Structure 1
Amino acid sequence: MASSCRKFPDPPLVFEEEPELAFQKDRKVLLVVVEGLNGIELEKDTPPTIKSMLANSKYTFNGLSDGSKDALTWSNILSGQWSDVHNVHGNSFDPEDIDDDDIHDHEGTGGAEGFVSIFQRVNEVGRKMTSAAIGNKGDLTDYAFKYADKLVEVDSDQKVKDSTVNVIKSMDAHASLAVVQFSDVRKAGLANAFNMSNASYKAAVDKTDGYVKELLDAVKGRSTYDKEDWLVIITSNHGGIENKYGSDSFEELNTFTLYYHPLFKTQKTSADLMNYLRFHGWYANETITTNSKSISYPETGVHAVSTGGAEDDIYNLAKTGELTIEFKINFYKPLELPNFSAYVNTYSFWYQNILSKDKEGGWVGATVASAVQTPGWSVNAYSSDSYGITLQDGKTTKSVRIPGRKNQTWQHVAITLKKSGEKTMMMAFVDGIKQAQEEMEVNVADLDNIEPIILGFSRRFQYGLLDFYMTDVRFWNKALADSEVSQVACLADLPNNHALNGNLISAFRKSDGNKLKDAKGNAARDLSLTGTPVQKTAFNYTLCSSGNALPYSLVDIAPQIYYWLDMPIADSWLLSSKPFLNNYEVEFMQEQTK
């Protein structure tokens, strides 16, 4: 058997120089919190240091906190969690202090009883990293800053600046994080006003801006600076209105935040705002019994009710022939009622009305047998993961389950109804995705009533007291097409020249005292609010927003620090935000040779 051998060329040896080992610069973070710095006011008159940093920063002037009390806002920063997660709701970290506005005794310490801080997280990393905190002695340093490896407590912003310069100069290779508190801007706002037209406030801002320059100079003056990669974060914890803060106006919730790195390309983020109300509770002193458990709610909760009658014919499908019901909603925190566990701490409901034109629809008593079937329609919460639409013609009730509901997150919902012979064609969209379509065996002509529009709880009750946030409730005299649903959801306000403007019946997004105002300007269609309504402000949720387009909030800070320091984030940390600086690695990620 013949065999052969395949020959390969035998090239001469080539001796190449061994490349120098690449290494990543030593990463460090400087977080400077300027208390009481109102972002919108800062944009009007930005002092020189901060202004120069914007050219290499990702920043926003219209960030938001979810409250404006001191301990709450600092807890947002140090935990990376919103207040409903970290459960610090007042002005003090001291668990012995009682806040008059904190009727549920939410206040807690910045330690294990409240949240785990960034100082503790840095300490827990498998490799040796240390942190420093510098601030004016008080609750913040006593409770929240005490977990830093190095704590400096002083009695003035001047000394905070001097101490921070010394800390920066002395940071060794293990020192990775320094957190700084400046309080003079907040004090100037309280003494006079939180705006740049107030000379004292502006002077405090300008002086603090000078302090920031000295801190930057100290960073850049380090002998090891060329081998380090610094992320500098400047933020405020809240703003103020006139000479106060602590409530939920936009001016008080407003924050400023920048993330600075010399290789960052400038990017300013902003967004429309939305006002929203919390709808919750039940009727005062009405006893409800379900599964042998009874509840008598002590006071009427918050819902919104129209006048009813002829003025509300525009919401009668029998009159319009077509109707679109659209809203944004967030099932966020179940109502707290001690000793009534059957009705609270649950997101599971049984056809509870979110909004309706059917005042007496559904269960009035404990059983289905006692149902009163009056003509009308209602949008419901069903089970723990669905919405629902119910139509009643006075004799029969037809319901369709609409999947796709999420809890503790804002969602956009649109339901269209249209006459289809002797039936009603229904289509439902959640976050722009069609989740249900069905011909319901109810004649549009039989849905006529003189009942009011109700936003929030009404007579339908079976398991679980409703507790949710809702806004941008809009009614259209047209069954919007799929593309139109997504289009209008992206608009905070409908322009006067918009093609659909003539189809918009009414829109409800902002309250004024005990009225939920019709944004179309028809006072006769304003809704009356019951109970004690509290209006809050948040970034407007739209289907068109991308994650990088939203303004930075206080809970974004901790995740960016963890990312910068290459710290793995566990789901068990319950962070309210995620890292986004990794989206810009092409700008700053460089390796140097030794």
Structure 2
Amino acid sequence: MKNLLGFLIILALTFSLQAQDNKKVLIIGIDGVRSDALVAANTPEIDGLIETAIYSPDALNDDITISGPGWSAILCGVWSEKHLVTGNNFSGNDYSTYPSFIQRAEDFDSNLHTVSFCHWGPINDNIVADAADFKLNFGSDQEVADQAANYLAVNDPDIVFLHFDDVDHAGHGSGFSPDNPAYITAIETVDVLVGQVQDALENRATYEEEDWLILITTDHGGQGTSHGGTSFTEENVFVIASGKNIEPIVIRRDSSYTSSPIDNCLEADAALAFDSSSSVEIADTPSFNFGSTQDFTIECRVRTNVSADVSIVGNKDWDSGLNPGFVFSFSYPNGPEWKVNIGDGSNRVDINTGGEIADGEWHTLSVSFDRDGMMSMYEDGVFLSASDISNIGNIDTNAGLIFGADTNNGYSYSGEIAEVRVWNTLVDGATIENWHCQSLENTHPNYADLLGYWPMNEEEDNIVSDVSGNEHHGLNNGAFWQSGDSILVENFDHTFRLVDVPVTALQHLCIPILPEWNLDGQSLIDLCDITGTTQPFVALDIQIAPNPVTNGVLYLSGKDLMLIQAFNIYDITGKLLQKGSLSQGLNQINVSKLPAGAYLIELSGKENRKLQSRIVIP
């Protein structure tokens, strides 16, 4: 909380440090924004910030894709195994051990002015709690933006957190998808509000003397009208860190094809590889509507390293297993067993006990659907399990077939698919075993019942050929042809995570991050740039007091006191004013010759240990 002493110090700095930048942070949280939808939307305000930003469109929330855990990660810098929030009721949380970065900033310097304005009130009520100097909850995004703009115009906050929720509402209402006009409109609307807040910030009388770091992110993506699973479109988020002193760069995932010695009994020269945004669509035809009574069999070959809540092959909206149609997937939420589902709109049947096929090897998956009997699952020609589906009614979807995603182009699969076969009859177990590793020929006992056969080895860009003679050719939407002995590998090691956001904010504010905090995130920006130092370090466990300084002497204490070797003191522009050596155990630094002002002290020690802290001399 601001107090009289803080006011007097700020007043003194107004006269003595007028040209020096004052570090501040604005975090804008936009709930439920798919990263690919942000790219698709017309967002000139956010795009302008990206031009002066470190930006990752391939950032991840690879924890729990629900708002409670997501915003806890964004504000506290740790994942759910530490903050213990697993849902939106926040029960059992451990914010006492892992508080918000606002609380850590206030603990470091209670003179910092901290503000939080939220559309979704539980963030303020549970995560921010009593840490912020001023917080309010609102009923709309527009109210959040109006209050933020007004507050920036007449107050002097150091940390501002804003939460917008209308995009998430649009996703739940009609779909989290870049193809959903209502969802895109919601993103474009919040972009206008971001511009409103940015204009208010830049119109501040002191803006030229301030160094604002603007962080923008989201808590999760979405699939269909929901989220909470482990699909890429739910876990994929974006992180933007924009500021006047930031070198712009875009950080993307690494995608490569890796050769590997694999056992492919078909010895195909090519295969079709799917990533997180590709599919093959087979146009609707009456023969792919199996109604209430038609028996059928589906087979395919797959190779993947990823088990997730995806649609490998199917004809349904996988947002719910009750929806009409069938799908091959993985057991929820992330396998490792593959599964099959069938539903009619009111009833569903699932077999979740397939093998663990995400091993980088080729596997043949086969399922026969006896409509007044059993659904039978086979892997590599071997029977695994069966379940009664006689209660399943009409499964027609009039959506054709789709490989690599569901009928809404969600729940995207990563890996290869080949040898997709669809029959309008039951193929018996012996035949499945005999043909699971052979290309189809007219000697197959059920060849006359073949509705479609897509070997997917032709190496043509846009068309996936049906060689059954029925000419149900497929449209390739972004999948890649690759050699049969290679596999697509996507590496996200260098992209950002939600937990990086608060660590970056603290770093910008030159607040030392102590090892005992046990944070999971990493800073996206260099070591507090007031010193010009860019090397990573481990913080010393040292306390510096009194602060503000009295009697011209700083006293050091803490368990790492014996590790300290030297100190540097800088002014706010980064100019070195005082330095010295510290023999083991020396715990005093004389700063009596420094004039009144704000400074940064840097302690350095053994084992690349450092501590940076702001000090004030009144």
Question: Structure 1 length normalisation: TM-score?
Answer: 0.49
By relative contact order (CA 8 Å, sep 6+), the higher-ranking structure is 1
Question: Structure 2 length normalisation: TM-score?
Answer: 0.47
